[in-house]
Structure 1
Amino acid sequence: MKKILILGAGIYQVPLIRAAKRMGLYTIVASIPGNYPGFPLADKVCYENTVDHEAILKIAREENVDGIVTAGTDVAVITIGRVCDALGLRGLSAEAAEIASNKLAMKSRYEEYGVRTARFRKIPFAREDYEELLEGLEFPLIFKSVDSSGSRGITRVDSPADFREARHNALENTRSDYFIAEEFIEGDEFGAQAFVQDGKVEFILPHGDYVFRGDTGVPVGHYAPFETDRACAPDVREQLEKAIAAMKLDNCAINADFIMRDGKTYVLELGGRSGATCLAELVSIYYGFDYYEKILRVALGEHVDFRAIKDDSGRPRLTPNASMLLTSDRDGVILSQENRNDPSDPDIVQIQFDYAPGDSVHAFRVGPHRIGHVITKGDTLGAAVEKLHQALEHIDIRVAGEA
C-alpha cells in the first residue's frame, strides 16, 4: 500500500484526505493539535507544525512515504519543497517553494522575467520614515506581509494617514522583518486554476471571483467559466506561463490571482498549490474529473492525464458551476442552521456546514472565518449562478452575538 503524507487537517485538506482514502492510500496527516476535521479521517496522525520542515522530513523518512502534498494553504508549501528535494519525491522544488511563499521574492522574479505586475517596494519594519521609499508609487497602495496567506496582513492604503494601521496589520501577520507596498491596480479581479507537470502547463481554467470587501478584497466564492474578451485570452496564458517559469514551479497545482485593466493582464500572485474556497471542486466539476485524485497521483510520481471528460460525441464535457462561502456578520455562537433546499436537486452539488449549533464562529474578515459553503452547477453559467442564489435563499443560519 502506498503512503501519502498530507500536511494540514483543516477544512480545505479534508477533501484531499478523503480522495486519498478512496484511492486506497495509507494516509498520514500532519498538523498542530486542535479540533481539526481531518484528524478522524486519517490512518495516522502526527502532531507536528507543518512549517517545521525538519520534523516533517523526519516523519516522511520514518514512514517511507511515497508522496507529500497539501491543498488550499500556503503555510506548508516550503516544507513540501524541502521534503521533495531531500527525498527525491515528485513535487515543487525547495527553491520554487521559497519563491512561492515570499511575496517579495515572487515580485522580484516577476520583475526580472518581464511578468506584468504592480510596481512595488520593500519596506523594513524598523524604518518608520519610509515615505521616501514609496516615491514614484501612486495611491492607492496595498501593504502586504510577505509570508501570510488567506488574505491576512493585507491592507489598502489610500493616503499617508493609513500607513500606521496598515503597517501594524502587516506586522501582526508575519514572521519577517519587512513588508511590501505595491500599487493597487483598479480593474476586474479574476483568478485561474492551473497545473504544471514535467514543465508543461496542463490546463488553465480562468474563474470569476465573488469578493468580500473588507480591508481588501477577500474571495468568498467563484464561478467558471470566466469569459475574458477573446482578444485577451492569449495575454492571460502568456502572463501566467511567464510567471510559472519565473517562479520555477513544476509538478504542482497553481492558484493564480489576476487583475484585468485596459485589456492587459496583471499578475498579482501565484501559489504553488490548489486554491481554497471550493476552487479544487470548481476544477473537478468543470472538467469532469476528480482533481484531488489527480493532485495525489502526481505527488505519487505518476504521469497524469488532465484532459476533460468527453461526451458521447467526443467533445469535452465542460460543466459551468458556481460556489459561495457561508459566513457570519458577527462573532458569536451558532444558535441554529437550516437547509431547506431539495436534497434531490441535481444542480446543487454540495451544501456544507462547517460548524454545529453551539459552536463559536468569527465575523467574516479572512478566508478561514468561513462557516460553510454552497456549490451549484448548470447547463449554462447563468443557470449555475441562478441556482446558487436560489440555494442560498433557502439556508438560514442564526448566530447570537454583537454585529
Structure 2
Amino acid sequence: MKKIMILGAGISQLPLIQTAKKMGLQVIVLSRSGNYPGFAWADKVYYEDTTDTEKVVEIAREEQIDGICTTGTDVAVKAIGKVVDTLGLSGINYTSALLSSNKWEMKQAFMEYGVRTAKCIKAKSIDEAYRAFESLSLPLVFKAVDSGGSKGIVKLEQASQVEYAYAEVIKATKQNFFIVEEFIEGIEFGAQAFVYNNSLQFVMPHGDLMFYGDAGVPIGHYVPYELPDQVIQDIQVQLEQSIRALRLNNCAINADFILKDQEVHVLEIGGRAGATCLPELVSTYYGFDYYEQLVRAALDMDPDFQSTASQPCACELLIANQDGEIVGLENGNEPHEDIIQISFDYGIGDPVRKFKVGTDRIGQIIVKGERLEDTLERLEEVKKNIRITLNR
C-alpha cells in the first residue's frame, strides 16, 4: 500500500485527505495540533508545524512515504519542496517552493523574466514604509511576504494609514521586512492550472467574488470567466513566463491576476491548488476529480487532466459580519440537482470571528447551472435560504 503525507488537516485539506483514503492509500497527516477535521480521517497523525521543514523531512524519511502534497495553503509548500528534493519524489522542488512562498523573491524573479507585475519596494521599518509611500504611486498595498489566505495585506491611500498598515503587516509576518506595492486599479480575477512534466495541463480562468476590508479578499469564484481572445492569450503568456521565472513543475498553480486596459498583470503565483472551493470548481467544470489528480501527481501515477465537460459552476463562503457564538443555523434549501454542496464548518455553540481573511469562514456553497447566469442566480437563491444567527 502506497503512503502519502498530506500537510495540513483543516477544512481546505479535508477533501484531499478523504480522497486519498478512498483511493486506498495509507494517509499520514501532519499538522499543528488543533480542532481540525482532517485528523479523524488519517491513518496516522503527526502534530507538528508544517513550516518546520527539517522536522517534516525527518518524519517523511522515517515513514518512507511515496508522495507528499497539500492544497489551499502556502505555508506548507516549502516543506513539500524540501521533502521532494530530499527523497526524490514527484512535486514542486525546493527552489520553486522558496520563490513561490516569498512575495519579494517572487517579484524579483518576475522582473527578471519579464512578467508584467506591479512595482514594489522592500521595507524594514516604519521610516522605510513612509519613504516607500512617498516614492510609489497611490494607492498602495502593504504585504507580508510570507503569509497566505490574504493575511498581512492592507490597502492604503493616505499617509495617515501607514502606521496601521505597518502594524498589521508586522503582526502577520515572521520576516524582518515586507513589501510596499503599487495597487493596480483594474478587475481582479484568478486562474487554476497544473504543470506536469514541464507541460501546462490546463488553465482555468475564474471570476472572483470579493470582500473588501483592509484589502480585497476572495470569498467566492465562478466559471466560465468570459474574456476576449487576446486577453486569454495574454493570460497564457504571463502564466508561462511566471512558471519559467519560478521554475515550477509537477505541481498545481494558483494564480492571481489584475486586468487593466486589456493587459494581464500578475499579482502572485502559488505552487499549490487554490482555496475557497476552487478544486471543487475545477472538478465540476472539467469533469474529472481534481483532488484525485493532485494525489496521483504527488505519487507520480500519471494524472489525467482530460476534460469531458465545461459545466458552469460557482461557489461562495458563508461568513459573519461580527464576532459571536452561533445560536442558530438553518438551511432552508430543498435538495436540487444544481446544488452541489452546502456545508457548515461549525455548529450551535461554536464561536466564530467577524470575516477578515479566508480562514474566518463558517461554511461554503457550491452550485452549478446550464448557463453562468443561471448558476449565479441559483447561488443567490441558496444564500437567501440560509440563516446563521449569532449572539455577541
With normalisation by structure 1, the TM-score equals 0.96
- Are 2:22 and 1:26 aligned? no
Q: Deviations over 1:270-297 (max 9, x none)?
A: 1110000000001000000100000000
Please point out which of 338, 343, 348 is paired with 2:330: 338
Which blocks of at least 5 consecutive residues in structure 2 are unaligned? none
SS of structure 1 residue aligned to 2:218:
strand
SS of structure 1 residue aligned to 2:28:
strand
Deviation at 1:231, TM superposition (A): 2.3
- Are 2:28 and 1:64 aligned? no
- Are 2:351 and 1:360 aligned? yes
SS of structure 2 residue aligned to 1:30:
strand
Deviation at 1:390, TM superposition (A): 0.7
SS of structure 2 residue aligned to 1:38:
helix
- Which whole-Å CA distance do the structure 2 matches of 1:229 and 1:351 have between them? 33
Please point out which of 309, 314, 321 is paired with 1:322: 314
Give 2:192's aligned residue. 193
Q: Deviations over 1:206-240 (max 9, x none)?
A: 00000001010000000001011222110011001
Whether the aligned pair in 2 keeps the contact of 1:121 and 1:134 (CA below 8 Å) is: no
Q: Which amino acid aligns with 1:366?
A: V
Q: Which amino acid aligns with 1:202?
A: Q
SS of structure 2 residue aligned to 1:222:
strand
Q: Which amino acid aligns with 1:7?
A: L
Identify the range of structure 1 (107-116 vs 128-137) with the bigger mean alpha-carbon deviation: 128-137
- Which whole-Å CA distance do the structure 1 matches of 2:18 and 2:367 have between them? 21
The CA RMSD over aligned residues, in Å, is: 1.0
Deviation at 1:199, TM superposition (A): 0.6
Give 1:153's aligned residue. 152
Q: Which amino acid aligns with 1:340?
A: G
- Are 2:76 and 1:76 aligned? yes
- Which whole-Å CA distance do the structure 1 matches of 2:331 and 2:351 have between them? 19
Q: Which amino acid aligns with 1:337?
A: L
Q: Deviations over 1:184-207 (max 9, x none)?
A: 000011000000001111100000
- Which whole-Å CA distance do the structure 2 matches of 1:236 and 1:301 have between them? 28
Q: Deviations over 1:118-175 (max 9, x none)?
A: 01111113x6254444554200000001000111111011022111111111100001
Q: Which amino acid aligns with 1:144?
A: K
Please point out which of 355, 358, 373 is paired with 1:382: 373
Deviation at 1:376, TM superposition (A): 0.2
Please point out which of 335, 347, 352 is paired with 2:338: 347
- Which whole-Å CA distance do the structure 2 matches of 1:88 and 1:361 have between them? 42
The 1:259–1:358 alpha-carbon spacing in structure 2 relative to 1, beyond 3 Å, is: same
Give 2:217's aligned residue. 218
Structure 1 runs of 4+ with >2 Å offset: 129-136
- Which whole-Å CA distance do the structure 2 matches of 1:105 and 1:202 have between them? 26
Q: Which amino acid aligns with 2:140?
A: L
- Are 2:373 and 1:372 aligned? no
Deviation at 1:305, TM superposition (A): 2.1
Give 1:244's aligned residue. 243
Give 2:178's aligned residue. 179
Following superposition of structure 1 onto structure 2, how do residues 47-126 of structure 1 map, counting pairs within 5 Å?
47-125=47-125
The 1:356–1:84 alpha-carbon spacing in structure 2 relative to 1, beyond 3 Å, is: same
Whether the aligned pair in 1 keeps the contact of 2:129 and 2:162 (CA below 8 Å) is: no
Following superposition of structure 1 onto structure 2, how do residues 156-171 of structure 1 map, counting pairs within 5 Å?
156-171=155-170
Give percent identity, aligned residues only. Answer: 51
- Which whole-Å CA distance do the structure 2 matches of 1:390 and 1:372 have between them? 16
With normalisation by structure 2, the TM-score equals 0.99
Q: Which amino acid aligns with 2:55?
A: A
Give 1:286's aligned residue. 285
SS of structure 2 residue aligned to 1:232:
helix
Deviation at 1:247, TM superposition (A): 0.5
Q: Deviations over 1:317-365 (max 9, x none)?
A: 210000110001111100011111112x000000000000000000000
